[in-house]
Structure 1
Amino acid sequence: MSYWMMVASLPLLPAIMLALGHHRARAAQLCHVALSWILRLLQGQVCAKSTHAFVFSRCTHGNASSVLEAFDVYAETHASAAVGPQIGEALNQVVKRVQPSKVLELGMHCGYTSVLFLRLLPPDGKLFTVEQDPAVADLGEELILVAGFKHTQFQVLTGSSGDTIPTLHSLLGVAPGTSDTFHLVLMDHDPQQYLMDLRALEKEGLLCPVGCSIVVILRNQKDKVLIELIEMTQAKPDCYTIKSLIPGMLELFYQKKRTQ
C-alpha cells in the first residue's frame, strides 16, 4: 500500500462508523485497529527513510561492518527499528553457534539484521527476508547491496508473513521436514503474529527437524507474547526448549524428537 493510499483512507474511517449504525461500538474498535495499523506503517516508512539516508551516506560502501556501525551510530541519537549493538552481538553468537546455511527473517527493518546474517553465512548460504511494507523492503534491499552482498545470496519477499510462509517450499526447492529447510528463523515483525507464524512454520515443515533456532525479538518485555511462547514450549517439550532469554530477545530451539 502506498503512502498516499494510506493517507487517503484516513477520512473514510468516520464514514465506516456511521454506516454501520447500531454496530457503532464494534465499528469504533475496528476503526481504532485500522488507524493504528496505518499509523504504524507510516511511522515505519519514515523511520526507514531516515535510517536509510543516514547509513547510505555514512558507511563505506562494500563494507558490511561499516554498514552495521553506521546503523549503530544512527541509533545512538535517533529512534530506530534496528535491534541495536547489544542484541546484534547476541545474534552474532547465535549464528556462530548454529552455523546455518538457510535463514528466514520475518521483519526487515531496513536491513540491519539482514546484513548481520549475510556477513556470517557460508558461501552457499542464503537469506530469505520477509517485509510487509514494499517501501521499507526496497530501502532495506538497497542497503544490503550497499554492504556488498549479491542477489544470489538473499531474496527479499514483500508481503505479510501469513501469506508468505506457505510459499516458501517452492522458493527453497526442498521437501517439507527435511534437513535442507531453515536452520535459523528470526522473528522481528508483528509480535501478535509470532505464535501463529511459528505454528505455521512447524505445520509447513519449514523448521529443520534435526535442529532449528528461533530467535524472537521482544521490544516490550511485558508483552503477553512472551508468556504465550513460554507456555507453548511447556505444552510441547518434545519439540521446543528455551535456549536463552535475555532482555529484548528469546531464543527457542526446535528439534523433532523421534518417537520409539
Structure 2
Amino acid sequence: MWLIAVSVPLLSAVIIIVVSGRCCDKVSMLWHRALAWALRLVRGRVCVRSTHAFVFSECTHGKVDSVLETFDLYAETHPSLCIGPETGEVLDEVVRRVRPSRVLELGMHCGYTSVRLLRLLPPAGRLITVELDPLTAELGEEIILVAGFKHSQFQVLTSSSAEAIPTLRSFLEPDQKTSEGFNLVLMDHDPQQYLPDLLALEREELLCPSGCSILLISRKTRAEDLREILDHVRLRADRCSIKTELRSMVEISYQKESGNVECDNKI
C-alpha cells in the first residue's frame, strides 16, 4: 500500500501541471509516463511478487489445475490482476471453439492467463506473450514452467507491444504451416494501445486472413476506454465484427479473405 501512497502524490503533481501548463503535448506525455510508471510500480512490486510467492509455494508443481486454483485462492483475499475463473471460463470457451495453433498474448501480468491458454492448445501449439515489465515477465515465465509447460511451447518477449509486434513474424516463419499468422490474439495490457496494436498487427499481416479471434479484456475499465477500438471495428464491417461483448471481455472476429486461405488451426 505504501507504493500506492507514494505514486498518488506524483500523479497529482502531474495533474497540477496539466492544469497550469501551456505545452499540452509535453504535459500529456509526462502524464502518460507517470501513469505507466505507477502501474508498473504497483504491478511489479505488489501484485507480481506477492502473487508469485504464494502460487509458487502453495501449488502442486507440474499440475496446471493446481496452479490456476492457487491463483484464484490468492485473489480471494488479495488484490490481483488475474482475470479470474469467471472470465477464464469465457476465455476457455473461445479457445475451444477457435482451436488456435498460434496465440499472441499482449500483457502477461502474473502468468495466470498464459497458463490458462497453454493448457488448451494442441501439442504443436505455441503461445507468444509480450510483457513490458521485466520483473513481471521473469516471474510470469517461472509460473508457466511451474505449471509444467516447456520453453518449446511458449515464448516470453520483454518489451512494449509497439516494439514487439514488428518482430513477431520471425517467430512464425520457421513453421511454414502457421506462417499465415495468429489464430487468436488476447489483449490485456493498456486499453489505449488496443486500437494501435490491432492496426499494427493487420499492417504486419500477423492476423490469420481466413479468421482470427481478438479478445479484449476490459478489467472494469470505463466504457470509453474501449470505445475507440469498438467504433473502428463497427466501421470495418468488411473485415471485422463484434462477436461477443461482455462486461469483462469483448471478442472481435477478424477475417480478411473469404475462405481461399486456411490457417493451420487444427493441429
Scaled by the length of structure 2, what TM-score is found?
A: 0.84
1:207 shift after superposition: 0.5
1:171 shift after superposition: 1.5
1:32-181, aligned counterparts within 5 Å? Answer: 32-45=31-44, 46-173=46-173, 180-181=180-181
SS at match of 1:219: coil
Q: Deviations over 1:187-238 (max 9, x none)?
A: 0001110000001101111010111000000023424232222211221101
CA–CA separation in structure 2 for the residues paired with 1:161 and 1:98:
23
1:256 shift after superposition: 1.0
Conservation of the 8 A alpha-carbon contact between 1:213 and 1:252: yes
CA–CA separation in structure 1 for the residues paired with 2:32 and 2:180:
39
Task: Report runs of 4+ in structure 1 exceeding 4 Å deviation.
Answer: 22-30
Q: Deviations over 1:120-145 (max 9, x none)?
A: 10000000000000110000000000
1:185-196, aligned counterparts within 5 Å? Answer: 185-196=185-196
CA–CA separation in structure 1 for the residues paired with 2:199 and 2:174:
19
Consecutive unaligned residues of structure 2, counting only runs of 5 or more, are 1-6, 260-267
Q: Deviations over 1:31-81 (max 9, x none)?
A: 433322211111010211111011111110000111011111111111101
C-alpha RMSD over aligned residues: 2.5
SS at match of 1:228: helix
CA–CA separation in structure 1 for the residues paired with 2:123 and 2:24:
55
Conservation of the 8 A alpha-carbon contact between 2:64 and 2:148: yes
Conservation of the 8 A alpha-carbon contact between 2:172 and 2:179: no
- CA separation of 1:106/1:163 partners in 2, compared to 1, >3 Å: closer, same or farther? same
CA–CA separation in structure 1 for the residues paired with 2:32 and 2:216:
24
SS at match of 1:120: coil
CA–CA separation in structure 2 for the residues paired with 1:246 and 1:136:
27
Scaled by the length of structure 1, what TM-score is found?
A: 0.86
- The percentage of aligned residue pairs carrying the same residue is 55
Q: How many residues align?
A: 244
Task: State the AA in 1 paired with 2:86.
Answer: Q
Does residue 213 of structure 2 align to residue 242 of structure 1? no
